[in-house]
Amino acid sequence: MKNLYLTDIDHFEIINSENIFFLGDWVKENYDFEKKLKDIDYRIFDSKIFNKKNIFEIDQNHKKFKLLVFDDLVKNLNIYHGSNYSKRYWQIIIEPWYTHFFEAILYRWKIVEKLLDSNINFKSKFLFFINNPTHFDYDHFIEDVESDNYYNQFLFQKIINFLDKKKNIKIVYDTKYEFLKKKKKIEKKSNLFNFLFSKIARSKKYFCDLSIGIRKYIILSILLKDFPFKDKKTFSKNNNDILYNEMSVLNIKKRKKINATITPNSGFENFFLDFLYLQIPIAFLEDFKKINNYLESKVTFRPKCIISDMKYATNTIFKFWLANSQLNGTKIIISDHGGSYGLLNGEFINEQISDKSLRYFRSNFDNSFHAPIIHKLHKRKKNLLSKLLVITHNVSKYPHYVTTSPVSGQVLDQVTMIKDFHKNLPRKIEDKFYIRPYHIDCWDLNTRYKEIFKNKVLINKKHYEKIYKNSKIIISTYPKTTFYESFLSGPSILLTNLNHFKIKNEYDELHDVLKKNKMLFENSLDASNFVSKVWNNVDDWWYSKDVQEALKIYKSYLAYEKKNSLRIWADLIKKA
């Protein structure tokens, strides 16, 4: 009988066990623990679901149910609060929490389902949870679902208890565990500043929540004939943390009275409907009226138009204000804040909640516009370029962003890919090689890269920016922001496993064009051989007729720049 570990809560116990069987490769996230595992016999279960083909199929099979549940949820939220808000209102409030929660439960269910299909007999120590985990809002949920061992242990236990009818897993309840709320540190508030900010904000026609830098923000404000003031207080993390610290207790008795009117047609649907209403964040139920009352007293300004690239998704006070503002006629414009394209669910949410969506890729939605990039981009010098820079990505410990990114241990494939690429370079280029890890260090990637590449790992931001400006070729390992940025700055290559990113098939033509012109590789050795071949004459390749034509096609699909980009944005905003 195998000893099944759902998470890696107790490293000491695991190391001293026998017949070890891990539910997923997230146990490798801690590099020191992964090294210790090399000395023992263990197996990691591979559900084989986290590839483009299977993810697309799973998403398609559950899409109808997901949308039906959302519509039912809207109805029940209105009943709970005695309100009659529109579907759009509730989408602004509870998305992207709902989509991410749905995916978190669905794909953990699929992992357990595949495990039980293996017909292996297991023994597993379960924690005795004294209470249910509660989340205040989207941000609070994401922190736990991405990386918290206890919350993920809780989810897997719930699913196994529901799904394991044959009792393939012998459960032994062990330690008790209670989910506790950790208070957040609050900065001292200045009532005078809050009053002044509120006063200035009332005079503004446009509220721009855009991460474009001070200079561009001022120019955009002038083009909009609006006062160039950026409010950093009203929707600050500090103000949201105050609400978090004051969150109400979960009212299980009242929540259990919420009745889903959908008839489930599968075990997953049955489980999800039972589980959903106990997991909805406090901000959407118990504290809904409290937050709206807070807005009535603290956030009273109503601009003509609100433009947001980030807060609309993650900032609770801002989300409530946005939802209430559109009820009073305020127009909403949602913008991309970085590079991503071909996502299964990302487009749907943005276009549904906005009057106008400004995208850094072309979209088929009527209210979506393929706009020129105005967000800050790193640039390179025009001459004397000598470096080879590789820019990497990272992912969360536990499955999250399943439909858009590598999942859990798939990120380690990137380490192998870059190592093989580097090993195949000639010495003259190897000496010019540098690597930039992602700024959020999950999976101990900084340490892993330092073991391989020593002092060539760029942790310091200033050092990285200096190398970037002097890079002859930049290689990005993920088709998102850095991919956009590097291709617009000069000779660049995308070296990645596209299967991990589940990009829609409509972009296959673009990928084929990039591959044909040696701008996209999925094989390390092919990429390093090509870099070696063109290193002495990079410009001959990059500025050739074929590559420049490929760049035109790239820009027609994705990111492009214009000299008058801010004026274009101002015109789009005015016409919202």
Residues near 177 by beta carbon (within 8 Å), at least 6 away in sequence: 127, 128, 129, 130, 150
> In which residue are the tokens 């009988």 written?
1
Number of residues that this document lists for the chain: 576
**Per-residue pLDDT averaged across 42-55, rounded?**
95
- The three state secondary structure string of 136-180 is CCHHHHHHHHHHCHHHHHHHHHHHHHHHCCCCCEEEEEEEEECCC
Checking if the pLDDT of 347 tops 80, the result is: no
Task: Quick: pLDDT tens for 515-533.
Answer: 999 999 999 999 999 999 9
**Binning pLDDT at 50, 70 and 90, where does residue 441 land?**
confident
Task: Quick: pLDDT tens for 256-286.
Answer: 999 899 999 999 999 999 999 999 999 999 9
- The dihedral formed by the CA atoms of 322, 328, 331 and 337, expressed in degrees to the nearest 10: 0
Task: Quick: pLDDT tens for 70-94.
Answer: 999 999 999 999 999 999 999 999 9
**Binning pLDDT at 50, 70 and 90, where does residue 174 land?**
confident
Residues near 544 by beta carbon (within 8 Å), at least 6 away in sequence: none
Contact between residue 11 and residue 33 where contact means Cβ atoms under 8 Å apart: yes
Cα 384 to the center of its chain, rounded Å? 37
Checking if the pLDDT of 143 tops 60, the result is: yes
Secondary structure element (H or E) that encloses residue 172, with its range: strand 169-177
The reported pLDDT for the residue numbered 229 is 84
Checking if the pLDDT of 202 tops 70, the result is: no
Torsion 414-417-418-419 (CA) sign: positive
Residues near 450 by beta carbon (within 8 Å), at least 6 away in sequence: 457
Contact between residue 351 and residue 545 where contact means Cβ atoms under 8 Å apart: no
Q: What is the DSSP string of 39-82?
A: TS-EEE------SHHHHHHHHHHHHHHHHHHHHHHHHHHHHHHT
Could you tell me which of 228, 201, 205, 198 has the C-alpha nearest to residue 216?
228
pLDDT, greater one: 123 or 343 = 123
**Per-residue pLDDT averaged across 43-52, rounded?**
95
Question: How high does pLDDT run on average in the chain?
Answer: 93
Q: Whole-angstrom Cα distance, residue 70 to residue 349?
A: 12
**Per-residue pLDDT averaged across 146-158, rounded?**
98
Contact between residue 512 and residue 492 where contact means Cβ atoms under 8 Å apart: no
**Per-residue pLDDT averaged across 207-218, rounded?**
93
Task: Quick: pLDDT tens for 296-342.
Answer: 998 988 899 999 999 999 999 999 999 999 999 999 999 998 888 88
The reported pLDDT for the residue numbered 339 is 84
Checking if the pLDDT of 27 tops 70, the result is: yes
Contact between residue 351 and residue 367 where contact means Cβ atoms under 8 Å apart: yes
For the chain, percent of residues with pLDDT exceeding 90 = 83
Distances in whole angstroms, Cα of residue 16 to Cα of each of 169, 221, 234, 341: 21, 63, 52, 45
Tell me if the bond preceding 96 is cis, omega within 30° of 0.
yes
Could you tell me which of 191, 225, 492 has the C-alpha nearest to residue 339?
492
Q: Provide the token pair at 99.
A: 């989509």
Checking if the pLDDT of 469 tops 80, the result is: yes
> In which residue are the tokens 């991460």 written?
211
Q: Whole-angstrom Cα distance, residue 324 to residue 330?
A: 9
Phi, psi of 383 (to 5 degrees): -145, 175
Give SS3 for 349. helix
**Binning pLDDT at 50, 70 and 90, where does residue 199 land?**
low
Could you tell me which of 12, 147, 145, 14 has the C-alpha nearest to residue 4?
14
Longest dimension (CA), the chain: 72
Checking if the pLDDT of 346 tops 70, the result is: no
Checking if the pLDDT of 193 tops 60, the result is: no
Give SS3 for 423. helix
Give SS3 for 563. coil
Checking if the pLDDT of 197 tops 70, the result is: no
pTM (2 decimals)? Answer: 0.95
Task: Quick: pLDDT tens for 442-453.
Answer: 999 999 999 999
Q: Whole-angstrom Cα distance, residue 500 to residue 272?
A: 26
**Binning pLDDT at 50, 70 and 90, where does residue 576 land?**
confident
For the chain, percent of residues with pLDDT exceeding 70 = 97
Q: Whole-angstrom Cα distance, residue 145 to residue 104?
A: 7
Checking if the pLDDT of 244 tops 90, the result is: yes
Contact between residue 106 and residue 399 where contact means Cβ atoms under 8 Å apart: no
Torsion 420-426-430-436 (CA) sign: negative
The reported pLDDT for the residue numbered 201 is 63
The reported pLDDT for the residue numbered 198 is 62
Sheet architecture: strand order including 433-436: 433-436, 387-391, 471-476, 492-495, 520-521
Could you tell me which of 86, 63, 66, 65 has the C-alpha nearest to residue 74?
86
Q: Whole-angstrom Cα distance, residue 41 to residue 56?
A: 34
